């Protein structure tokens, strides 16, 4: 499947390509479009309290936080995600330029993110990024849950599963949890406030 891909360029999404937190932004957009479900904020705040007091882990917290999409089909969530990203200007210009350079240099761009995959796929398609590795949004019997949080060392594991022989030529991230990922690349760049500040 990837025989024609030799070198890849890896991009974190939230805080790197996208200026904000995509889950929070999408949640706000969802509530604006469907205000009758605003009461679910109380469920989210309760889950946040449990997470902050370390009574639940991050994966469980995020699974509970996405209650704003509960009762909608995956098709409806996808429709809302496409609508959300249609006119979304909040991308970091310097990282977009880095993305374009990678594409011009025949590097295969890959987004790897802790955000639910269905939430960010339309944005990646808009940016011309074909390969997206993210936290899996799962649905069973009409209920949503999340797969293992694609964060930190899990990103390296998932990347090697998808691209076992390809060289990570370059990587960008604003997250300290991604330092091992940056170090695994030939060139790893730390991003802060949308700007590339140093090579690790």
Q: How many residues are recorded in the chain? A: 200
Structure tokens of 152? 């930190």
pTM: 0.93
Which architecture does CATH list for 7-19+90-199? Answer: 3-Layer(aba) Sandwich (3.40)
Would the pLDDT of 1 be above 60? no
d(CA 74, CA 139): 8
The predicted-structure confidence for 113-157, as pLDDT tens digits, reads as follows 999 999 999 999 999 999 999 999 998 877 899 999 999 999 999
d(CA 199, CA 169): 13
Q: Report yes or no: 93 and 17 within 8 Å, Cβ to Cβ.
A: no
d(CA 30, CA 122): 15
d(CA 53, CA 3): 47
Task: Give me the residue spans of the domains in the chain.
Answer: 7-19+90-199, 23-85
Kindly report the backbone phi and psi dihedral angles of residue 115, in degrees, each rounded to the nearest multiple of 5, phi listed first.
-70, 155
The predicted-structure confidence for 160-174, as pLDDT tens digits, reads as follows 999 999 999 999 999
Q: 199: exposed, middle or buried (C-beta count within 10 Å: 0-12, 13-18, 19+)?
A: exposed
d(CA 57, CA 132): 24
DSSP, collapsed to helix, strand or coil, labels residue 78 as helix
């Amino acid at each position: 499947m990837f025989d024609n891909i030799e070198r890849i360029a890896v991009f974190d999404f939230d805080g790197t390509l996208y200026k904000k937190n995509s889950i929070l932004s999408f949640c706000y957009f969802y509530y604006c479009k469907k205000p009758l479900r605003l009461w679910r904020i109380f469920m989210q705040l309760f889950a946040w309290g449990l997470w902050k007091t370390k009574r639940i882990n991050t994966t469980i917290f995020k699974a509970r936080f996405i209650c704003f999409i509960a009762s909608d089909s995956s098709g409806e969530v996808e429709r809302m995600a496409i609508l959300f990203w249609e006119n979304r200007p909040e991308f970091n210009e310097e990282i977009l330029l880095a993305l374009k350079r990678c594409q011009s240099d025949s590097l295969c761009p890959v987004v790897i993110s802790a955000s639910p995959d269905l939430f960010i796929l339309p944005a990646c398609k808009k940016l011309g990024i074909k390969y997206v590795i993210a936290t899996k949004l799962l649905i069973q019997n009409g209920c949503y849950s999340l797969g293992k949080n694609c964060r930190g060392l899990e990103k390296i594991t998932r990347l090697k599963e998808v691209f076992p022989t390809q060289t990570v030529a370059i990587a960008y991230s604003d997250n300290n949890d991604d330092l091992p990922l940056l170090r695994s690349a030939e060139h790893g760049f730390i991003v802060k406030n949308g700007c590339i500040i140093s090579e690790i």
